[in-house]
Amino acid sequence: MNRLVPVLAALPLAFLSTPAFAQTQALEQAAAAALESDTYAWDFVEGITTEVGPRQAGTEAEARGRAWAVAWLKAKGFANVADEPFMMDTWVPGDIARARVTAPFAQDLTVLPLGNSGATPAGGIEAEVVFFRTVDELRAAPAESLAGKIAYISHQMRPAQDGSHYGFAGPVRWVGPGLAASKGAVGVVIKSVGTDHHRNPHTGGTSFPEGVKPIPAGALSLPDAENLERMFARAKGRPLTLRLEMNPRQLGKTESGNVVGEIVGQNPSLPPVLLACHIDSWWNSPGAFDDGAGCAIVAAAALNAAKAGQPLRTVRVLMAGAEETGLWGSKAYSEAHLDEAIAVGIESDFGADRVWRFDSNFRESNPALHKRIAAAVARFGVSAGSDVATGGADLNIVRDQKGALIDLQQDGMRYFDLHHTPDDTLDKIDPVQLRQNVAVWTMVVGILANEANSILTGGPIPSAPKIMQAP
Ligand code: ZN
Ligand code: ZN
């Protein structure tokens, strides 16, 4: 069935010959073509995961990733391509990560350090483990009650389409180690913040409060964490001791950078549309889902939207550096460009599975535009949500400017099986769902880039992303 027929029937005849109509039609064609046969996104994510691989923030590996992205953007015809440098505090994981229960049931556990973790002395530490079922239990523990002990923190994370369990379980990683350290712990291990049952720990950033010395902090794979919990049950009150050895370290200040590129609009005096993702990954995977796919989707959308004709506004792609270890690139970009207005920001940083929901922060203040986008993405199976969009981690500049935001929410059922694990590899990307992302983004970017009027006309201004991707 020709989907255009009912739309055409509802339109006044005069509109059919206007430039606006021709432009809408060209955009619909570009998005439909992207759904069938986009190759930009796959080329980007296949290329960067193959030719670069892991891209730990602030290291030479991330620098190679940025150089690769710069070359790719230039080759595809982006203008004003640059790698804007900034300095950051760089943490590296080291090459030793061992955990062994020494009593009462001696055996090894699979562990990886968390980003910003401290190191153990050579040979490791050995201490009694104190079990906390939740981060709130740890919060309630008396001051100094963990002196000389290792804390273990659990949670009950489950897969959810909107990824919302990350919000419940995430604090175990984000603040658990800092809380344990502030109560005197000498080390901490957490149940990985994830949902798979492979023997892969999920790393990710943590942070320690001002004045609290970082302690060794590791993530156990989910099967190992469950094994540890069964040991507590069988220990029947006998002390459970763990030996932990890890050698991550802080390198001090090193350089990272934000890769940018533009499809220049017809009217460069209008604020641009900003499409964000992050170029860095953790060291333990090539970062296909997190966030090679996101950068692939935003770059492909910019290119496909431009196939419908030069947009009115400039479309700028921001591939932020060093997101994982503390949103360094997002903060640096906002600092450097705060006085350059952005029309609207959108980010892709939730894998490569299909987009299922659209939210904005202008549903009430600019209902006509919100409805137009909702109608345009419905054909791709995307529903209009009623949440206020908060933007992703790399959109600090838009939140700082109190600007317009759109969230194109991806299906999160598989995301936390792969997130920050060695399993985050290219084979997990479904090319059909990747192209659906590109098609949806092409429509949305095309509409926004051709919107002559101000996009946010008042309305709610979020101060932080809904789902934190780093501490
Ligand atoms: Zn990410
Ligand atoms: Zn991440």
Domains of the chain in sequence order: 5-91+252-449 (3.40.630.10), 94-247 (3.50.30.30)
Sign of CA dihedral 384, 387, 393, 397: positive
311 strand-pairing partners: none
What is the whole-number distance in angstroms between the Cα of residue 284 and the centre of ligand 2?
11
- The backbone region for 185, taken as left when phi is positive above 0, alpha when psi lies in -120 to 50, beta otherwise, is beta
Phi/psi-derived region of residue 166, left when phi > 0, alpha when psi is between -120 and 50, beta in every other case: alpha
What pLDDT is stored for residue 20 in this prediction? 79
Ligand nearest to the CA of 166: 2
Distance 349 CA to ligand 1 centre (A): 5
- pTM > 0.85: yes or no: yes
Q: Which ligand is nearest to the CA of 351?
A: 1
Ligand lying closest to the C-alpha of residue 203: 2
Q: Tell me the CA distances in angstroms from 22 to 26, 35, 155, 375, 378, one per residue in order.
A: 6, 20, 53, 18, 20
Q: Output helix, strand, coil percentages for the chain, rounded to the nearest 5.
A: 35, 25, 40
CA 282–ligand 1 middle distance (angstroms): 9
User: How many angstroms separate the alpha carbon of residue 319 from the centre of ligand 1?
Assistant: 11
Map residue 161 onto helix, strand or coil: coil
Q: For residue 282, which ligand has an atom nearest its CA?
A: 2
Cα distance between the two ends of the chain: 48
- On whether the CB atoms of residues 140 and 392 are closer than 8 A, the answer is no
- Tell me how crowded residue 74 is: count the other CB atoms within 10 A of its CB: 12
Residue 65 Cα to ligand 1 middle (Å):
15
The pLDDT of residue 249 is: 98
* Span from the CA of 287 to the centroid of ligand 1 (angstroms): 9
Compute, in angstroms, the gap from residue 204 CA to the centroid of ligand 2: 7
Hey, is 109 helix, strand or coil? strand
Q: What is the pLDDT of residue 17?
A: 60
**Calpha distance 242→130 (Å, rounded):** 10
pLDDT at 459: 75
Distance 448 CA to ligand 1 centre (A): 24
**CA–centroid distance, residue 278 to ligand 1 (Å):** 6
Regions of the chain with pLDDT less than 70: 1-17, 467-471
Q: Is 286 helix (H, G, I), strand (E, B) or coil?
A: coil
Bridge partners (DSSP) listed for residue 255: 87
φ, ψ (nearest 5 deg) of residue 28: -60, -40
Verify cis geometry, omega within 30 degrees of 0, for the bond prior to 104: yes
Instruction: Please count the CA atoms within 13 angstroms of the CA of 404 that sit on its side-chain side.
Output: 26
**Ion ligand 2, residues whose Cβ is below 5 A away:** 290
Name the residue among 270, 320, 277, 329 with its Cα closest to residue 298.
Answer: 277
- The alpha carbon of 133 and the centre of ligand 2 are apart by a number of angstroms equal to 24
377 to 380, 437, 444: CA distances (angstroms):
6, 11, 8
User: Residue 426 has what DSSP assignment?
Assistant: G
Among all bound ligands, the one having the nearest atom to the CA of 285 is 2
Considering only CA atoms, give the Rg of the chain. 23
Q: How far apart are CA 262 and CA 299, in angstroms?
A: 10
Q: Evaluate whether 397 touches 345 at the Cβ level (below 8 Å).
A: yes
Q: Which pLDDT belongs to residue 238?
A: 97
Ligand sitting nearest the alpha carbon of 291? 1
- Token match 């599975």: residue? 353
Between the CA of 290 and the centroid of ligand 2 the distance, in Å, is: 5
Q: For residue 288, give every residue at least 6 positions away whose Cβ sits within 8 Å of its Cβ, in sequence order, or none.
A: 45, 49, 352, 424, 425, 426, 428, 429
Strand 273-278 to 344-347 pairing: parallel
Could you say which ligand is closest to the alpha carbon of residue 115? 2
Residue 301 CA to ligand 1 center (angstroms) comes to: 18
Q: Which helix (H) or strand (E) holds 68?
A: helix 60-75
How distant is the alpha carbon of residue 322 from its chain centre? 11
> Of the ligands numbered here, which is closest to the C-alpha atom of 56?
2
Q: How far is the CA of 159 from the centre of ligand 1 (A)?
A: 17
Ligand in nearest proximity to the CA of 419: 2
The CA distances from residue 346 to 2, 176, 288, 408, 409, in Å, are 30, 30, 19, 8, 10
Do 100 and 75 form a contact (C-beta atoms < 8 A)? no
> In angstroms, what is the span from residue 321 Cα to ligand 1's centroid?
11
